[in-house]
Amino acid sequence: MNQEIRAIFDSIAPVYDQLNNWLSLGQHRIWKEMAIKWSGAKPGDTCIDLCCGSGDLALCLARRVGNTGHVYGVDFSPNLLATAQERSQQQYPQPAITWVEADVLNLPFENNQFDAATMGYGLRNVTDIPQSLREIHRVLKPGAKAAILDFHRPNNPQLRAFQQWYLNSIVVPMAESLGLKEQYAYISPSLDRFPTGDVQMELARQAGFASVTHYPIVNGMMGVLVVGKSET
């Protein structure tokens, strides 16, 4: 299953950023900035961006922590990581980012290492959500927070219908024109299976987080789960 997910993301790497910009009308950057703000990351911090893909969130996070901080971007797709690396090499000054090819369900980091964590559109794609939350909890320092951005199913039936129409009738045909129909057709069923905000909060409590809040954004079509590790 992990290999199928990795194959999906490896194959969309060449068009990934362009399609996200078009399909969200550029809005995904704003949603990612909200996640960074809610993660509590600040200048000088050591942060981790999980499921970093082509590096969008990690690059913004690196701007936030500045040259006294450091960001680790972790993903298991070599093709998306290569894009991330290229993007960071094109920047001046070079952002303080280390790109790490690894499985977020088994992070190659010690306990209590990070001041903040972010994850954009990753939790819906991992094969074991409770294990992913436990790993985030393990690597965060006491008192640190993580902000986890993803799609969400709105309660309002009209908005849910709009979201399904947009995913099936705009996103999939546009991807089909680039030969990537199957890959983008995967988003809608993965969202159907994805736990809603209140269930995500319960899973985060079970993973050990002391504070948990789910913020619906974009009229509930997206959400940010903000979780904090206890001080002690």
Ligand X SMILES: C/C(=C\Cc1cc(O)c2ccccc2c1O)CCC[C@H](C)CCC[C@H](C)CCCC(C)C
Edge to edge, what strands does the sheet with 211-217 contain? 97-101, 70-75, 46-50, 114-120, 140-151, 222-228, 211-217
Distance CA 13, CA 79 (A): 6
Q: Is 220 within 8 Å of 154 (Cβ atoms)?
A: yes
Please, which of residues 7-46 interact with ligand X by CB under 6 A? Answer: 8, 12, 20, 23-25, 27-28
Strands (E), 26-96: 46-50, 70-75
Binding characters for ligand X, 113-132, by CB under 6 A (x = yes): --------x--xx-------
117: contact with ligand SAM by CB under 6 A: no
CB 173 to ligand SAM: min, Å: 19
Binding characters for ligand SAM, 76-95, by CB under 6 A (x = yes): xx--x---------------
Radius of gyration, CA atoms only, the chain = 17
Distance CA 34, CA 224 (A): 8
Q: For ligand SAM, which residue of 64, 72, 75, 209 counts as binding (CB under 6 A)?
A: 75
The residue among 9 and 209 lying less far from ligand X, judged by its C-beta, is 9
**Which partner, ligand SAM, ligand X, none, binds residue 122 by CB below 5 to 8 Å per kind?**
ligand SAM
35: contact with ligand SAM by CB under 6 A: no
219: contact with ligand X by CB under 6 A: no
Buried b (16+ CB within 10 A) or exposed e, 53-65: bbbbbbbbbbebb
Distance CA 61, CA 71 (A): 7
Q: Is 192 within 8 Å of 127 (Cβ atoms)?
A: no
The residue among 105 and 210 lying less far from ligand X, judged by its C-beta, is 105
Residue 113 CB partners (closer than 8 Å, separation 6+): 46, 48, 139, 140, 141
The residue among 65 and 149 lying less far from ligand SAM, judged by its C-beta, is 149
In this chain, which stretch among 69-77, 151-159, 204-212, 217-225 interacts with ligand SAM, using CB under 6 A?
A: 69-77
The residue among 2 and 169 lying less far from ligand SAM, judged by its C-beta, is 2
Q: Which residues bind ligand SAM (CB under 6 A)?
A: 2, 5-6, 9, 51-53, 56-57, 75-77, 80, 103-105, 120-122, 125-126
Q: Which residues bind ligand X (CB under 6 A)?
A: 8, 12, 20, 23-25, 27-28, 121, 124-125, 163, 166-167, 171, 183-184, 186-187, 221
